[in-house]
A and B are shown apart, each in its own frame.
Chain A
Amino acid sequence: SQQGEEDPQALSIQEGENATMNCSYKTSINNLQWYRQNSGRGLVHLILIRSNEREKHSGRLRVTLDTSKKSSSLLITASRAADTASYFCATVPPPGTYKYIFGTGTRLKVLA
């Protein structure tokens, strides 16, 4: 499979706790993105980190990128029940190709 790997595959936490999910990939990238997919809904873009960046924040989201290890992590702080969803990383290739590669996803369940 050409998909990236994410771990854990599933995560269950209490409301208010932090959730961390990890993504590993195989190819060179221009940037890496994280998407959320709620049950029965389409994917929604959350945050993008460029290959020359190491950390990025957006609200309760924090993303890190380690290009030497070809890995990224997404941290959701102070989780809410509404954060229950599947989270996917997607790698964007360097210019010249257009094939985004999505990971296998982490299914997050936040218990109220």
Chain B
Amino acid sequence: DTGVSQDPRHKITKRGQNVTFRCDPISEHNRLYWYRQTLGQGPEFLTYFQNEAQLEKSRLLSDRFSAERPKGSFSTLEIQRTEQGDSAMYLCASSNPGQGSTYEQYFGPGTRLTVT
């Protein structure tokens, strides 16, 4: 068990470009979350998957954001037409209700996005 991994760890892009991030959860975890964190703030919920189904999406998420989790394993988060306000750390977390500690989330190291 290597924990939750995210790729890339850092991404610098120009405004208007599209970017895609990947998250690999802990293998037996069926719940997967995406968060955005800006400097000095706590993580802000973006979306939640249970297996391959996207069950909840933040109203803060504009149409430029989309997430997928094909086959209920890894997940991708895409941001289209990036804006400078999208600069943030994007965190992925997973959890498994079967472990007894139903609600504990395991976080990845994050992808730091800088939009220039």
* Given known A-B contacts A3-B42, A97-B56, A99-B48, A33 and B110 have beta carbons under 8 A apart: no
Report whether over half of chain A's contact residues are helix, strand or loop; otherwise say mixed.
strand
Q: Is the pair B107, A88 in contact by a Cβ cutoff of 8 Å?
A: no
Q: Is residue B65 contacting chain A, with contact meaning CB distance below 8 A?
A: no
Pairwise interchain contact A45-B105, C-beta atoms closer than 8 A = yes
User: Is A71 an interface residue when CB atoms closer than 8 A count as contact?
Assistant: no
> Is B104 within 8 A of A43, CB to CB?
no
A interface, size bucket: 20 to 34
A77 contacts B by Cβ under 8 Å:
no
CB neighbours of A101 from chain B (8 A): 45
- Which B residues touch A4, using CB under 8 A? 42
Whether B43 pairs with A99 at a CB distance below 8 angstroms is: no
Q: On chain B, which size bracket covers the interface? A: 20 to 34
Q: Is B107 touching A42 in the complex (CB atoms < 8 A)? A: yes
Spot the interface stretch: A14-22, A54-62, A102-110. A102-110
What does the 1/0 interface line of A80-103 toward B look like (CB < 8 Å)? 000000001010100001111111
Q: How far is the CA of A98 from the CA of B4 in the complex (A)?
A: 19
B-contact 0/1 string along A1-26, CB 8 Å cutoff: 00110000000000000000000000
**B90 smallest CB distance to A (angstroms):** 12
CA distance A102 to B40 in the complex (A): 12
Give the interface of A toward B (CB within 8 A): 3-4, 30-31, 33, 35, 41-45, 48, 88, 90, 92, 97-105
- Give me the 9 closest cross-chain CB pairs, A-B, nearest first: A102-B42, A42-B107, A98-B48, A43-B107, A45-B104, A98-B56, A102-B43, A88-B42, A99-B45
